[in-house]
Amino acid sequence: MKAPTQYRRRARQSGFSLAELMVVIVIIGLLVTVVAPNVISKLGTSQVGVAKASIAAIEDACTQYYLDNNNYPETLEQLVTTDAAGAKYLNQETVPKDPWGQEFILELDGDDLLIWTYGADKAEGGEGKNRDFNNKMIRNQEI
């Protein structure tokens, strides 16, 4: 015997309606177009920040080397190897690399020490995240 209509349970719907799916797709599309470019642009900025911090650490190590030896190191290799006095100026085993995988460049400009990175393009020149920069530019707040 069947129960009266008023007592019958309605079959539960499972899944989503087409309208609900369309709303979700539109929201995801908006998020991708608005949020993704901001996240991607921050990625380049954070790499420059990491490079600046690395250059500052190398510059500090070079300054300590200068104070101990009365001259700057000729290569970055001298900062990561233990010298005759038992000093090691950077606490790592290999020469530091910039966030783009290239070794930093160490050069003397008269009495001024310059520590360079070629930026994201890994080549001399460029603008934006591809711009070359050094510790002197950082100190002068050009970067």
Residues in contact with 44: Cβ distance below 8 Å, sequence separation at least 6, in sequence order = 120, 128, 129
The alpha carbon of 68 is separated from its chain's Cα centroid by a whole number of angstroms, namely: 32
> Is residue 89 scored above 80 in pLDDT?
yes
60 pLDDT tier (thresholds 50, 70, 90): very high
Is the pLDDT reported for residue 43 higher than 70? no
Q: How is residue 118 written in tokens?
A: 């070629």
More reliable by pLDDT, 11 or 126: 126
**Per the confidence metrics, is the pTM higher than 0.85?**
no
Q: List own/partner pairs for 130-133 with CB under 8 A and 24 or more apart.
A: 133/51, 133/52
Domains and CATH numbers, the chain: 29-139 (3.30.700.10)
Average pLDDT of the residues of the chain: 83
Bridge-based pairing of strands 133-134 and 105-109 is unpaired
**Phi–psi pair at 30, nearest 5 degrees:** -65, -40
